[in-house]
Amino acid sequence: MHRKYNPQEVEEKWQAIWEQKNLFRVFENPAMPKYYLLEMFPYPSGNLHMGHVRNYSIGDVLARYRRMRGWNVLHPMGWDAFGMPAENAAISSGVHPAHYTEQNIQRMKRQLRRMGFSYDWAREVNTSRPEYYRWEQALFIQMFKKGLAYKKESEVNWCPRCQTVLANEQVEGGRCWRCEEEVELRDLEQWFFRITAYAEELLEYCDRLSGWPERVLTMQRNWIGKSAGARIRFPLPDREHGAIEVFTTRQDTVYGATFMSLAPEHPLAMDLARGTDREQEVSAFIQRVRQQDKRKRIAADDEKEGIFTGAHCLNPFSGRRIPIFVANFVLMEYGTGAVMAVPAHDQRDFDFAKRYGLPIQVVVQPKSGEILQSRSLHAAFAEDGVLVGSGPFDGLESDVARDRMNRFLEEKDMGKAAVQYRLRDWCISRQRYWGAPIPIVYCDRCGIQPVDEGDLPVTLPFDVDFQMKGSPLAAHNEFVHARCPNCRGTARRETDTMDTFVESSWYFERYASADYQQGLFDPEKVHYWMPVEQYIGGIEHAVLHLLYSRFFTKVLRDLGHVKFDEPFSNLLTQGMVIKDGAKMSKSKGNVVDPDDMVERYGADTTRLFTLFAAPPERDLDWSDLGVEGSFRFLQRIWRLAEDWRESLLQVEAYEGPPPAEEPAGSLYRKVHETVRRVTRDIEERQHLNTAVSSVMELVNALYLAQPPDPRQRPLECAVLRKALETTLVLLSPFAPHLTDEIWESMGHRIPLLQVPWPSYREDALQREQIVLVVQVNGKVRGKIEVPAAASEEEIQSVALEDEKVKRFLAGKAPRRIVHVPQRLVNIVV
């Protein structure tokens, strides 16, 4: 009787062996090429979901593959453990966030181990532990002393349910990114990181990140939002002093500015109407608009509305007296919060002017020679062109006019050329308990003072009341009471905690020396391991986490802690796991529990399906039939090994030159073709799905072979052993438990992770004849056999003369012919 494949039994056995052998431990070794592979660490919510499984399965394949290729691979795991969900759980269930977090970590850690991921758990980090965040506090103090951390009053996004401030990036569609409550605007004193000091470098280095998806780089470039233009001051004629300053990229249209638009948040918006008969009406408009979703306000299809303040300013170029409006589509955080409105050349201004009957004046004509008339204009002409009605600048093309106007502005002291960024400083203050305390105290005599680094960490008190509104820290007298580090007098401790994105902005450096006690990390070990060669995570982190991590790395460099400029050399953004056409969620009732999958099919099947069903960067559509198919495939390999083992153990795997006799020669060639394809798919393209597909083809070839007979056909038997063992090696990063079990049963004493990755022989890939698939308009319509050395013209000729193909061409001439060497010919008609 052959053994039956029992995945649970096999997987538990090998997980114990790997742990006993410390197989995943890694140390610095300058004699070896290093490879740092990292998946974004999870928030300990309590259970893995299939998105986690897919992300970590992708990473584990790449980590195991690199180790087998002879690299010294760092593959760590930890926990992004601070955050509102733990505090919300404390409010609703009475479980302390520390207990809630620790319970979840232990449960998720068991799940990760059960999946067989090759993590070096000796490097595990937990961001909610003082031994981690004390160094974050030390870095905050260093940033504070360098002016990179500061406090100011600012209008902030406030989530009334979470009772905390949100960064702009954490507001999605006007709602909190975590609880989806509608966000309010409030004026509060907050702590900021001066990320704008690095705006130009963050933008410039986007061009150097050749290993990042262009989609992510585009999102970062857009978020940083560099614009070259000019700052222009529009005097206020009814005031003795004062002017409204605007930033514009279209200074060539300034003669067409017929009114001024202010953001409702602009300090002059209310001040201009104060004491006039318009004060009450303007105030009501400002209050109403400030509560609206800012993204909706600036949307192209949203209604443009405003109110006249009763005041005017002067166009410094034309001398024209123009009215000042407060407009809903102008935001304070863009430019200066004031916009010179040129309705003939900006569509939003055009729509606004049409609604309120304001003048429209054409000052740029198309280069084509077409003449635009202000009265007959149906839409704004927003392109560059030739200036008209612009005084001494008439006849100049827009780009030339902008340069000359910049010089004119500086000569007349009316403004200057300027560069503007969309990026704003990072607000890190959170009015919550479960976060890293900000290491600052307030002294009536000395003002704002950083805590002495020797007194770190500033730890969270355990005994707090989670049922009260706002931050529990603010009501905890023992925590609030402090001594001023300067004068030693009575002081008050800062009760805000840091945004959780601070912890995730440097954890990858901490992994290099997770138990280091003298600083953020051991400089020598960080110098050895960083930067990360391959980072893997979701596209949803393109702006938040990835931009902040890049900023932190540059700060650490400038403070002397590291010597590199960017944290991640290569980035892979995996797609979502969807079911029934939607992202998995409890509310949709389409969640697949990884534990259920492991219990029914085993970890290897669960991993294999998530890797085979779609390329890593694409969404994966969950299929129960697909899972069954992956399980059956592993069973086929198991049965084959059980059926052939006794015979194969009587011979050594064939390692010689390509056999001349058949069918040994064809199978030998198939083995080496598969090694080449799988290696290239993993190494060059990270197309793990096609790598698995190639292994499946090799298994199919094994099933077509005659059973091994070491006495009658010793050479063929030796090639069969080579083919089966190569299958196990190639499949081991994907299904490590099953392959290790079969590998051991074939008489091998070391796990596959310590076996070198196979190489292929070029002479084994040579064929006299090759078979190519022929497609017509992308659909398979036949196959042709051609000499291996045939030219592309010869191959196309054979394809066009094939009788089956001719029927589908129906006499039509090809528009083009696409030839994929060794694979297919696609005829497009």
Give the C-alpha separation, 629 to 621, whole Å. 15
Give the C-alpha separation, 389 to 396, whole Å. 11
Give the C-alpha separation, 827 to 829, whole Å. 6
Res. 168: pLDDT tops 70: no
Res. 293: pLDDT tops 60: yes
Res. 1: pLDDT tops 60: no
DSSP state of 79: B
Separation of first and last alpha carbons in the chain = 57
CA-wise closest residue to 554 among 216, 132, 206, 195? 195
Give the C-alpha separation, 601 to 23, whole Å. 25
Count of CB atoms situated within 10 Å of the CB of 488 = 10
| DSSP annotation string for 285-320 | HHHHHHTS-HHHHT-TTSPP-EEEEEEEEE-TTT--
Q: Which residues of 758-797 are buried (b: 16+ CB within 10 A; e: fewer)?
A: bebbeebeeeeebebebbbeeeebbebebeeebeeeebbe
Tokens of 193: 């990181």
Count of CB atoms situated within 10 Å of the CB of 618 = 12
Tokens of 382: 């927003």
Tokens of 349: 């201004």
Tokens of 688: 């793990």
- Residue labelled with tokens 């190494």: 683
H helical segments located in 338-424: 347-356, 398-411
More confident position, 791 or 398: 398
Q: What are phi and psi of 381, to 5 degrees?
A: -95, 100
Give the C-alpha separation, 677 to 760, whole Å. 10
pLDDT averaged over every residue in the chain: 93
More confident position, 85 or 641: 641
**Which uninterrupted H or E stretch holds 583?**
strand 582-583
More confident position, 588 or 522: 522
pLDDT in tens, 449-499: 999 999 999 999 999 988 877 789 999 999 999 999 999 999 999 999 999
SS3 190: strand
Spatial strand order in the sheet of 243-248: 243-248, 226-235, 415-421
Give the C-alpha separation, 707 to 647, whole Å. 9
Asked whether 35 and 66 are in contact (CB, 8 A), the reply is: yes
Give the model's pLDDT for residue 478.
96
Give the C-alpha separation, 181 to 501, whole Å. 20
More confident position, 261 or 174: 261
**Which uninterrupted H or E stretch holds 72?**
strand 72-74
Q: List, in order of start, the domains of the chain with CATH numbers.
A: 13-135+501-581 (3.40.50.620), 136-194+425-498 (no CATH), 229-417 (3.90.740.10), 643-765 (1.10.730.10), 769-828 (3.10.20.590)
CA-wise closest residue to 35 among 76, 77, 63? 63
Give the C-alpha separation, 600 to 602, whole Å. 6
Q: Pairing between strand 243-248 and 226-235? A: antiparallel
Q: Is the bond preceding residue 359 a cis peptide, omega within 30 degrees?
A: no
Assign 186 a pLDDT band (cuts: 50, 70, 90): confident
Assign 345 a pLDDT band (cuts: 50, 70, 90): very high
Q: Is the bond preceding residue 457 a cis peptide, omega within 30 degrees?
A: yes
Give the C-alpha separation, 196 to 23, whole Å. 44
pLDDT in tens, 188-210: 899 999 999 999 999 999 999 99
Give the C-alpha separation, 408 to 410, whole Å. 5
pLDDT in tens, 431-450: 889 999 999 999 999 999 99
Give the model's pLDDT for residue 300.
67
Q: CA of 17: how far to CAs of 13, 306, 518, 750, in Å?
A: 6, 71, 34, 11
Give the C-alpha separation, 209 to 223, whole Å. 16
Q: What are phi and psi of 619, to 5 degrees?
A: -65, 145
Give the C-alpha separation, 340 to 246, whole Å. 7
More confident position, 470 or 307: 307
pLDDT in tens, 521-541: 999 999 999 999 999 999 888
Tokens of 734: 């994907």
Q: What are phi and psi of 204, to 5 degrees?
A: -60, -40
Give the C-alpha separation, 295 to 54, whole Å. 33
Tokens of 155: 């209008």
DSSP state of 746: T
Tell the burial category of 513 from Cβ atoms under 10 Å away from its Cβ (0-12, 13-18, 19+): buried
Assign 794 a pLDDT band (cuts: 50, 70, 90): confident
Query: Residue range 649-655: average pLDDT?
Result: 95
CA-wise closest residue to 230 among 251, 252, 199, 207? 251
Query: To 10 degrees, what angle do helices 50-68 and 594-601 make?
Result: 60
Check residue 174 and give left, alpha or beta (phi > 0: left; psi -120 to 50: alpha): left
Tell the burial category of 469 from Cβ atoms under 10 Å away from its Cβ (0-12, 13-18, 19+): exposed
Count of CB atoms situated within 10 Å of the CB of 655 = 8
| Percent of the chain clearing pLDDT 90 (strictly above) | 79
Res. 768: pLDDT tops 70: no
Give the model's pLDDT for residue 643.
95
Asked whether 726 and 720 are in contact (CB, 8 A), the reply is: no
| DSSP annotation string for 401-439 | HHHHHHHHHHHTTSEEEEEEES---EE-EE--SSSPBP-
Give the model's pLDDT for residue 543.
86
